[in-house]
Structure 1
Amino acid sequence: MIKPRPLRPGDPVALIAPSSPVSEEKIELSIQSIRFLGLEPIVFPSCFMKNGYLSGRDEARTKDVNDAFADPDIRGIFCVRGGYGATRILPMLDYESIRRNPKFFAGYSDITALHIVFNKLCGFITYHAPMPSRGYAALDPFTLNSLFNAVFAGAQPGKVENPPEESIETICPGIARGEITGGNLSVMTAALGSPYEIDTREKILFIEEVDELPYRIDRSLTALKLAGKLEAAAGIILGTFSDMPEEDVDPADTLSLSQIFDQIIRPLDIPTVYNLRSGHIYPQIVIPMGMRAELNATMGTVAFV
């Protein structure tokens, strides 16, 4: 797996919106975020477009991704926000050109679809990282340190540390090694059965989710299981499952998150941990997707190697 060159102060980087539309306020905040890092923001047209719940027509969003990779002056690419829509542009991306021009690429949530294809089809590491519309200057020190290391040092070996007082829990003990893949649960399941589906064979599968009811998390995990994606993985890292809606039901009529994991994942007897602090939460760990990692589920540790 290729490690794109880390960024350097002053590097021009693209701001793109491959999924949902971005408000003027968030565009300005994204520009400020990139300048806060000491980089030069180049705002691409998709950031100013709106097509219902999409940032623009599929062709326009595709063009921005392709152009950002093809432009030799652009050293890195930051997705401004997630939302929905990245899966729609997967068939139109110029994978050969992208493969020839690996660059620092960052985002998460709906951007999971792009992480998967860039790792799988183009062979380079990408970064599951906070997006600039969040406002980098306001990030907590833990998240900011993780982001700065990814941006300016790149994918480096070493142990992954959760924020203080946040422990990683063991679901199934054991040790697993492999490239880390995955991201948002709903986005992963949306591409199943297509040429762009996730490949988990001998890999460590990272899963996170936000704002989903227990039965929907159950349904998506079951879809991955039926597709053989859970069983094929060398290990599983469950990140955060944040902002789960309150259910107005008797507890006897639903399942907790731990019960879902116990019933779907534990029987696989694959090294698995829960609560790596990465996902739709802060503080947040930046994950180099595609990098080799060692998961010691017995000890509750993760290290990139």
Structure 2
Amino acid sequence: MDKPTFVRPPPLRPGSRVAALSLSAGFVTEVPHRYAAGVRQAAESLGWDIVPAPNAFRGPEYLYAHPEARADDLRWALQNPEIDGMVSIIGGDDSIRLLPYLDPELIRAHPKVFLGYSDSTVTLTQFLKAGVMAYHGPAVLTDLAENGGIHPLTRHGLEQAFGTEPYDLSPAPEWTEAKQVWDEASQPHRREFQPGDGWTWLQGDAPAEGHLLGGCVEILDMLSGTPGELPPALWQGAVMALETSNDVPPPSQVGYWLRNWAAKGVLQGLSGLLLARPRDYSPQMVEQLYVWVRRVLKEAGREDLPVVANVDFGHTSPQLTLPLGARVRLDPAAGRVTVWP
């Protein structure tokens, strides 16, 4: 099979006009000060001009009842020549309801950056199905509105993903799961971070590379069996990136989802696996997760597959931006993950 190719949208730069989309939960109307902080900090740190899509502030009840209005915002942003890219305001759990209203041909005809994570995995996946790169990374209300300013690693990760030169992903020098208080009084005050704990290479000795695919594991499982899931053939030769949400699925459940991919033949054809730092896992749960990953890969005959865990993307802060569809190389001996954006 030929290696798949993905159109790279024009990258976001200082001066880019970026549409903020409520494709998932619509509660941004309940925290307008938090949204304003994300817009302000993105302008100060990245030079982006973030503007709301027409329906983004219609409120949670309206947007829940009208998934077609959420999809209309995506179409508006794609077709609007004054919009350079799109960013998710926040995640949620029901953007799968947008599938009947999404048009892959429109995405292909107007390739633009789409940035988000968590439930945005639904939309990221539709971009990939349309043959367009998509960006697994910060949302407006989370990392862009980080208390005390956008974290330097988050900012640097975005700049690398939208750059032109190959780069190595780097472990975060510090990280946090401390609760963010979303009120105006707390906004200037930085959360408490703890020293970085680095990556964990679980298995694999030989370097491997492939195109990067993946997202939030719960949402990818939700897409299974629907018209929105990636075809198994597209996973052939890919590096899979998986993150868990703040729903905190138990390690055994992650193992069962991996078994599902083994049953589809997906694991057998992968080139590598990136696992995000799992949200709200105890050290014991982390060890159980690693046991499950190794177990399922052994069942699938993939004890050779290079696997690196505890990578800083997804439901962790700060988080890296992963350019899905880009070429990635894993080098276990050197402890390197290199990206060609």
Give the shorter-chain TM-score range.
0.7 to 0.9
| Superposed counterparts of 1:1-305, under 5 Å | 1-24=6-29, 25=31, 26-36=34-44, 37-52=46-61, 55=64, 57-121=66-130, 123-134=131-142, 135=145, 138-150=149-161, 153-154=162-163, 156-164=165-173, 165-173=196-204, 174-198=206-230, 199-210=234-245, 211-244=248-281, 256-267=288-299, 268-269=302-303, 270-305=305-340
Q: Which residues of structure 1 form unaligned runs of 5+? A: none
- Distance, in Å, in 2 between the alignment partners of 1:155 and 1:120 is 23
Q: Which moved more, 1:15-24 or 1:36-45?
A: 36-45
Post-superposition Cα deviations, 1:200-252, rounded to whole Å, max 9, x if no partner, equal: 111100111022222322332222222222222121111221113899xxx9x
Deviation at 1:56?
5.0
Give % identity: 28
Displacement, 1:22? 2.5
**What is the TM-score with the length of structure 1 in the denominator?**
0.88
Deviations 1:108-135 (A, max 9, x none): 11111211220222x2222111111120
Over 3 Å counting, the alpha-carbon distance change for 1:266 and 1:303 in structure 2 is: farther
Call closer, same or farther: CA 1:209–1:155 in 2, change over 3 Å. farther
Q: Distance in 2 between matches of 1:279 and 1:155?
A: 23
What whole-Å deviation, never above 9, does each CA across 1:78-129 have from its counterpart, x for those lacking one?
Answer: 11111112222123212212111111211111111211220222x2222111
Deviation at 1:277, TM superposition (A): 1.4
Do 1:277 and 1:283's aligned partners in 2 also have CA atoms closer than 8 Å? yes
CA distance in 2, matches of 1:224, 1:69: 32
TM-score by length of 2: 0.79
Letter aligned with residue 131 of structure 1: A
**One-letter amino acid of the counterpart of residue 17, structure 2:** P
Letter in 2 for 1:132: V
Secondary structure of residue in 2 paired with 1:241: coil
What runs of 5+ residues in structure 2 fail to find an aligned partner?
Answer: 1-5, 174-195
Once superposed, what is the RMSD of the aligned Cα atoms? Answer: 2.5
Distance 1:15 1:99 in 2: 20
Q: Is the 8 A contact 1:105 1:127 kept in 2?
A: yes
